[in-house]
């Protein structure tokens, strides 16, 4: 569609701003802008207000680094979580994903990234010291490294494992293997190999 000559600078600016969002091209941006034009002023004000207030109001949990409206996030301030488990994640996005499974009742620790020499990210750029401090606390018995199964994730796993070992804790990583619903025939060989090596004994 290229560049349309829009009849309004206001509309042009709105389309420009909307299309700066990821995955939204100028055609979709125009469609969204025209949609909003057809709505009452209050609807647009409410959307705009929600965005501004979100950006202004959200902070990071003082304890784990999760997103939060308060000093402590809902996970850390809940009295019902198991303080003996600490799950290390790259960012708050992974906390959302893990919480969504309903399978984990412990606490989290947000690293703020992964070690990546290529991108110039080293351990000192991540909240590793704070992790070691928390892991040394009296309650923690297990640290679960829930990082991506990428080169950077593996590097970070390796580094953290080395740092955590002296603390005498149990350190684990997520199981690797076939995704639920995967057809064996189409599984990639590395994953399939891992799932054979890590095979699980069935009860007799």
Q: Where are the alpha helices (DSSP H) in 102-188?
A: 128-135, 151-164
3-state secondary structure of 67: strand
3-state secondary structure of 79: coil
Looking at beta carbons only, is 37 or 83 nearer to a copy of itself?
37
Looking at beta carbons only, is 26 or 172 nearer to a copy of itself?
26
- Residue 68 sits in the site that holds a copy of itself (CB under 8 A): yes
Count of residues engaged in binding a copy of itself, rule: CB under 8 A: 60
d(CA 163, CA 117): 18
Choose one: 94-102, 139-147, 149-157, 175-183; the region binding a copy of itself (CB under 8 A): 94-102
Choose one: 47-55, 113-121, 151-159, 193-201; the region binding a copy of itself (CB under 8 A): 47-55
d(CA 67, CA 187): 35
- R_g of the chain, CA atoms, integer Å: 23
∠ at Cα 32 (94, 19), nearest 5°?
A: 65
- Residue 71 sits in the site that holds a copy of itself (CB under 8 A): no
* Binding-site ranges for a copy of itself (CB under 8 A): 1-2, 4-11, 13-14, 16-18, 20-24, 28, 30-37, 39, 41, 44-58, 61, 66-69, 73-75, 92-93, 95-96, 99-100
């Amino acid at each position: 569609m290229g560049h349309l000559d829009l009849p309004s600078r206001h509309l042009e600016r709105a389309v420009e701003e909307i299309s700066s969002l990821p995955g939204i091209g100028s055609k979709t941006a125009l469609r969204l802008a025209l949609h909003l034009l057809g709505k009452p002023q209050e609807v647009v004000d409410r959307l705009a207000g929600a965005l501004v207030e979100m950006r202004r109001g959200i902070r990071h949990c003082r304890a784990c680094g999760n997103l939060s409206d308060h000093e402590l996030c809902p996970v850390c301030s809940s009295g019902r979580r198991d303080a003996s488990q600490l799950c290390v994640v790259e960012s708050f996005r992974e906390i959302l994903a893990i919480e969504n499974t309903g399978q984990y009742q412990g606490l989290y620790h947000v690293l703020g990234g992964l070690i990546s020499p290529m991108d110039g990210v080293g351990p000192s750029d991540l909240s590793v010291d704070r992790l070691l401090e928390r892991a040394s606390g009296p309650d923690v018995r297990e640290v679960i490294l829930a990082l991506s199964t990428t080169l950077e994730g593996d590097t970070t796993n390796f580094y953290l494992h080395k740092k955590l070992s002296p603390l005498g804790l149990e350190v684990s990583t997520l199981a690797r293997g076939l995704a639920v619903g995967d057809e064996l025939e189409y599984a990639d060989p590395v994953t399939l190999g891992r799932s054979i090596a890590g095979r699980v004994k069935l009860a007799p």
